[in-house]
Structure 1
């Protein structure tokens, strides 16, 4: 679903920073070999993630949902030279694919992969984060928020992807098997009303929320 005309979308991409060569390769290989390549952040959103990370200058980044590692590499561009990026995913089959690209980048030694359920792993990370990116199972977005908010430094940023869910967040009736849409509607409500954060929802791709801890 396009939230702006395709011609405008193309113009925006053309007049934004170019996609780095390594990420172009990762993008291509993901589309050639991996299921559901639309899950990839992609060129424009990747440059947005990179810019936000560079503005924050995080020492510790947490990513929930690695997929093939594209967004992790974008976020790593803003990492403090002595910082770390912890990325969590439950798909063991993608571990080596991710690692290959991480190690080809100059950030490989700073990126730490975790395999398993993020709700089990996060409490074991005895760290405070400056930047968190949530892009995993939509049903658990509110649970992720609740488990990371106390691990986020004051002034820290939570980025939440897919919060417009192809416009389904406007639906008033859901298929009983659709757990993601009502979960995202509730998550968006939480971010708007929780006094611990200030939030702006951007209509970038499928919706990207920026929440800053007060």
Structure 2
């Protein structure tokens, strides 16, 4: 850890012991552990949930459950967080930590495609964290905002947070014709900044967060 990062960690609220254990076990047992949100990003997500007063939260891409638990900590007792993960092999790992958390009762874990599941939940979401398949980011955005034929899953004042939006700097490099991940992220960022229904800012935290507010 470089000195600035170490200072940021030291001068921010401490990581909850259960989240620290989750991070450690993810790094020991799961392929591509760097996909975990981690302490500082997790704390930011928790604070955004709390500061916006969100009561209904959607997460696209659970992974091992770190960000879901972080956001659930920011919810009031009447809040609900729906988190959707396509990889069923991660279900038992995530649930084992949800079951041990005082905030786990606020979390509803769904296994499958977010594009199929989210519209069936019957919710209008106050905050959405997008961290699923990067190739599907444009489709997630169309689903959330509505396209005229289907109702929107968010409302004016809702906040969308899209992770990995800088994609290790690939968004400013020549893109290979078969690099569907980077192509989709470029399309997503263009869709957002050109959409008159929203306002946004990209924050260069870790791999980049696109913070989007529905007008």
TM over 0.5: yes
1:197 corresponds to: 198
Aligned length in residues: 209
Instruction: Kindly indicate whether the alpha-carbon contact (under 8 Å) linking 1:49 and 1:75 is maintained by their aligned counterparts in 2.
Output: yes
1:80 deviation in Å? 2.4
Matches within 5 A, 1:140-179: 140-149=136-145, 150-171=152-173, 173-179=174-180
Q: Gaps spanning 5+ residues in structure 2: where?
A: 146-151
2:90 corresponds to: 94
1:101 deviation in Å? 0.6
What CA deviation, in whole Å up to 9, does each residue of 1:70-107 have, x standing for no partner? 00001111112111100001111111111111111112
1:184 corresponds to: 185
Quick one: distance in 2 between partners of 1:189 and 1:208?
14
Matches within 5 A, 1:125-136: 125-136=121-132
Quick one: distance in 1 between partners of 2:157 and 2:20?
32
Quick one: distance in 2 between partners of 1:6 and 1:160?
26
2:208 matches 1:212 = no
2:149 corresponds to: none
Quick one: distance in 2 between partners of 1:154 and 1:83?
19
Q: Secondary structure at the match of 2:199?
A: strand
Instruction: Kindly indicate whether the alpha-carbon contact (under 8 Å) linking 2:137 and 2:184 is maintained by their aligned counterparts in 1.
Output: yes
Q: Gaps spanning 5+ residues in structure 1: where?
A: none
2:44 matches 1:43 = no
Of residues 27, 33, 37 in structure 2, which corresponds to 1:31?
27
What CA deviation, in whole Å up to 9, does each residue of 1:83-133 have, x standing for no partner? 110000111111111111111111221110111111111111111100100
Quick one: distance in 2 between partners of 1:200 and 1:71?
20
**RMSD of Structure 2 on Structure 1 (CA):** 1.2
Quick one: distance in 2 between partners of 1:123 and 1:10?
41
Quick one: distance in 1 between partners of 2:195 and 2:5?
32
Bigger mean CA deviation after superposition, 83-92 or 6-15: 6-15
TM-score (norm 2): 0.94
Q: Secondary structure at the match of 1:174?
A: coil
